[in-house]
Chains A and B, each alone.
Chain A
Amino acid sequence: GENVEQHPSTLSVQEGDSAVIKCTYSDSASNYFPWYKQELGKGPQLIIDIRSNVGEKKDQRIAVTLNKTAKHFSLHITETQPEDSAVYFCAAGLYSGGGADGLTFGKGTHLIIQP
């Protein structure tokens, strides 16, 4: 089955600086790669996603890049703000015409924004 590795487990950055979180996946058939933000005691919320036919996607201060050959994808947050502090999860999944299987998640990165 799919295996997703995520690094680092904890990332501390100064407010206003950029943060980068990296993930690798093992199954070359995976074609969907979402990133979720989870605040303490709550369910994860999707912040950005990318499909395997796209190399990069950006939404305001957040961007995701995908390298299919190397099987890795990264989350980039620029101009970090205190409200960006949370746990971030990457995931990989396979979606086909037959429907949606579940996602395989990384173990998460605790992002801490220092004032």
Chain B
Amino acid sequence: DGGITQSPKYLFRKEGQNVTLSCEQNLNHDAMYWYRQDPGQGLRLIYYSQIVNDFQKGDIAEGYSVSREKKESFPLTVTSAQKNPTAFYLCASSIRDGPYEQYFGPGTRLTVT
């Protein structure tokens, strides 16, 4: 089956620790995205990547880092510099040149205490 996988579904960390969220896709999509969702809020763009070894900051990149070493993978690191890391994190991918639909993974719920 083609799709996007995010692991783990639930993640718990202590404050001050960095944590890396996994995102893998087998859709052969060039573009990948990370969004953050807080209760009662829409999705906010953290980082996106249109091709391997290249990525751009989104609206709320502070306290996060990414890498794009492989087309299939776009891991997100939540660093200790992120002031409010507890949230639902969603990864998405799309064909770079259209048709523009972004396919979303099932999400990772991160809780930092």
Interface residues of A (CB under 8 A from B): 1, 4, 6, 9, 32, 34, 36, 41-46, 49, 51, 89, 91, 93, 95, 97-108
Asked if A103 and B102 sit within 8 Å, CB to CB, the answer is yes
Interface residues of B (CB under 8 A from A): 4, 30-31, 33, 35, 40-45, 48, 50-51, 56, 58-59, 90, 92, 94-98, 100-107, 109
Considering the complex, give the chain A residue whose CB is closest to the CB of B41: A107
Q: How far apart sit A89 and B102, CA to CA, in the bound complex (Å)?
A: 13
Considering the complex, give the chain B residue whose CB is closest to the CB of A100: B31
Number of A-B pairs, beta carbon distance below 8 Å: 79
Residues in A whose Cβ lies below 8 Å from that of B50: 98-100
B76 to nearest A CB, angstroms?
Answer: 13
| Contact residue among A32, A97, A105 (Cβ-Cβ distance under 8 Å from B42) | A105
Asked if A32 and B100 sit within 8 Å, CB to CB, the answer is yes
